[in-house]
A and B are shown apart, each in its own frame.
Chain A
Amino acid sequence: MEITLKLTQLDPSVRARLAVLLRMTKTRTRLCLGILALFASAFVAQAAETIPPKPDRYFNDYAGVVSSGAAQRFNEQLAQFERETSDQVLVVVYHTMQSDSSIDDYTRRVAQAWGVGQKNQRNGVVLFVFVDDRKMFIQVGYGLEGALPDFTAFDITERHIKPLFRNQDYEGGIATGIDLICKAIRGEYKGSGKTTRESGSSQNNPAGLLVFFFVLVIILLAMRASRRFGGYRYTGGGGPFVSGNWGSGGGWSSSSSGGGFSGFSGGGGSFGGGGAGSSW
């Protein structure tokens, strides 16, 4: 609703000017102006909300309030937590919230878009901190709502993190938050000893494999048919070569300690609106 209001507020003066311009110019220029206007309006409309891009690590400080040593420590702590429990816990610190919606609604959609947590267990938790807005929120995935219910999340943000944030101790506040969140949800699920990125499992492999086998069968049938009519032999030398390629193809997605840090890959978990937050 707000977006259309902005445009109609622009319209009266712009419309008058456009009318004068249009009377003087040719059709081609009118077309260019029209396209320009479309682009301009699209730009205005998009400014209402942005879903930030999926982060690459478990601990992401886009506001620069935590030292790099602590950031590294937090990242490893959370990566290790995923190895042990399969729960994906993320911490993201931004300057401000890029949305006109409420914090619980916006952060849920962001967490859902990032697919934090394993797909079947839905065990993702994201701690959002907006430093300039002085607001934070813990989003809890469906699978962890029992272990980390709303009043526990509220207790963590209000009574443990908030006092430290009030004193500008962001590092201490975040450390406390991470420890308490992990303590609450540990034991709910078992980990596999590897993070999602390390195990290199991607959901589209099975479908790709099926397509590959299908294509292989068609090629083999076509070869057999051509042999019957063409009369020359073709050994199945193409088979092992192609399947070998696929085997290495599965391995390229795992990067683990590429740049000296443990990377995060979303498992496809979903969020139902559980969690709580505070402002300081």
Chain B
Amino acid sequence: MNKGLIGCLGIGAIILFVVLVGGCAVAGSYNRLVGLQQKVDQSWAQVQNVYQRRADLIPNLVNTVQGAANFEKSTLTEVTNARASVGRVQIDPNHAPTDAAKLQEFQQAQGQLSNALSRLLVVSERYPELRATQNFQNLQAQLEGTENRISVERGNFNSAVQEYNVAVRTFPTNLFAGMFGFQPRPFFEAQAGAEKPPTVNFNFGSPAPAATAAPTP
């Protein structure tokens, strides 16, 4: 047999083998990236879920509180306005945001609503008859539960994004990740000033109703 031909075939086989192995490795990495991206989108949908749950509780809360005599109007309108501005933020619930600015906008709107709600709950301390009603107590329990769920899902979302970002940035996956359209994603960051409690300005113009409620047993 022609030794040169065998040599060429041998080299050709080796090159083919290397290309195949390389191709399999790339395919494997690509599939993994797709899986991780799906996980990120899934966690995002969960985050949207729990935020929506909170938004749905607001009308009920506002109705219950409005019934209490002379409740601070400014606090109520603040909550209603914050909820409306949350609704105005255009965000895709099925795909995690790729733009950090968009996520920041969303986070800010939700943060405003959180602040308005905590102010409402602090102000309600001055209305013991309202706080004694079962309806209000149930709503408060629901709101607290929703806040818990929000922090849990945000935590899950952040870990999913971290896992994805690490996969996209590590070598050798980062060489072709950009080529296939996998970019690092933004995640929830602690808001500047989150460590300071929200300020409450009591409107001392209108006096609170005279509290003649019996002391709780």
| Residues of chain A whose beta carbon lies under 8 Å from any beta carbon of chain B | 104-105, 108, 149-151, 153-155, 158, 271-276
Cβ of B151 under 8 Å from chain A: yes
The contact of B141 among A105, A271, A273, A276, by CB within 8 Å, is: A276
Kindly identify which residue among A105, A108, A154, A271 contacts B138, using a CB–CB cutoff of 8 Å.
A154
The answer to whether A108 touches B142 (Cβ under 8 A) is: no
A108:B141 contact, CB within 8 angstroms = no
* Assembled-state Cα–Cα distance A108/B149 (Å): 10
Q: Decide: B138 and A155 in contact? CB cutoff 8 A.
A: yes
- Say if the beta carbon of B31 comes within 8 Å of chain A: no
Verify if B87 is at the interface (C-beta below 8 Å from A): no
List the B side residues contacting A149 at CB < 8 Å.
142, 145
Contact B138 A273 (CB under 8 A): no
| B138 in contact with A104 (CB, 8 Å) | no
Could you show 9 A-B contacts with beta carbons less than 8 Å apart? A149-B142, A150-B141, A151-B138, A151-B141, A154-B138, A158-B137, A272-B153, A273-B151, A273-B153
Chain A contacts of B142 at CB under 8 A? 149-151
Q: Are A273 and B148 in contact (CB under 8 A)?
A: yes
Q: Are A274 and B145 within 8 A (Cβ)?
A: yes
Task: Indicate if the CB atoms of A108 and B137 lie closer than 8 Å.
Answer: no
A153–B142 CA distance with the chains assembled, in angstroms: 10
A154 x B153 contact (CB < 8 A): no
CB distance from B73 to the nearest CB of A (A): 27
The 9 closest A-B pairs by CB, nearest first: A150-B145, A154-B141, A273-B148, A273-B152, A151-B138, A273-B149, A276-B141, A150-B142, A104-B148
Contacts of B139 in A (CB 8 A): 151
Residues of A close to B99: CB separation below 8 A:
none
Instruction: List the B residue with the shortest CB-CB distance to A274.
Output: B145
Residue in B closest to A159 when the chains form the complex, CB atoms: B134
Q: Which residue of A lies closest to B143 (CB)?
A: A150
Interface residues of B (CB under 8 A from A): 137-139, 141-142, 144-146, 148-153
Bound-complex Cα distance A23 to B19 (A): 62
B150: chain A residues at CB < 8 Å are 273
A150 B152 Cβ-Cβ under 8 A: no
Nearest chain A CB to B98 CB, angstrom units: 26
Q: Which residues of B contact A150 (CB under 8 A)?
A: 141-142, 144-146
In Å, the complex CA distance between A154 and B145 comes to 10
Cβ-neighbour of A276 out of B144, B152, B153 (below 8 A): B144
Q: Which of B142, B144, B145, B151 has the most CB of A within 10 A?
A: B145
Contacts of B137 in A (CB 8 A): 154, 158
CA–CA, A275 and B145, complex, Å: 6
Kindly provide the distance from the CB of B199 to the nearest chain A CB, expressed in whole angstroms: 22
Taking a contact as CB atoms under 8 Å apart, the answer to whether A272 and B144 are in contact is no
Q: Is the CB of A105 within 8 A of B145?
A: no
Task: Give the chain A neighbours of B153 by CB distance below 8 A.
Answer: 272-273
How far apart sit A41 and B210, CA to CA, in the bound complex (Å)?
Answer: 55
CA gap between A105 and B153 in the complex, in Å: 12
Taking CB atoms, residues of chain A closer than 8 Å to B152 are: 108, 271-273
Q: Which residues of A contact B148 (CB under 8 A)?
A: 104-105, 108, 273-275
Chain A's closest residue to B141 (CB) is A154
Chain B residues with CB below 8 A from A153, complex form: 141
Residues of A within 8 A of B145 (CB): 149-150, 273-276
Residue ID in chain A nearest B156 by CB atoms: A272
Q: From known contacts A104-B144, A150-B144, infer whether A272 and B138 are also in contact, taking CB-CB under 8 Å.
A: no
In the complex, A150→B144 CA distance in Å?
9
Q: Are A274 and B149 in contact (CB under 8 A)?
A: yes
Q: Which partner residue on chain B sits nearest A1 by CB separation?
A: B195
> Which residue of B is nearest A102, CB measured?
B148
Which residues of chain B have C-beta atoms less than 8 A from A276's C-beta?
A: 141, 144-145
Known contacts A104-B144, A150-B141, A154-B138, then 5 further A-B pairs from the complex at CB < 8 Å, ordered by chain A residue: A104-B148, A150-B145, A151-B138, A153-B141, A276-B144
Residues of B close to A108: CB separation below 8 A: 148, 152
Q: For residue B207, give the distance in angstroms from its CB to the closest CB of chain A.
A: 31
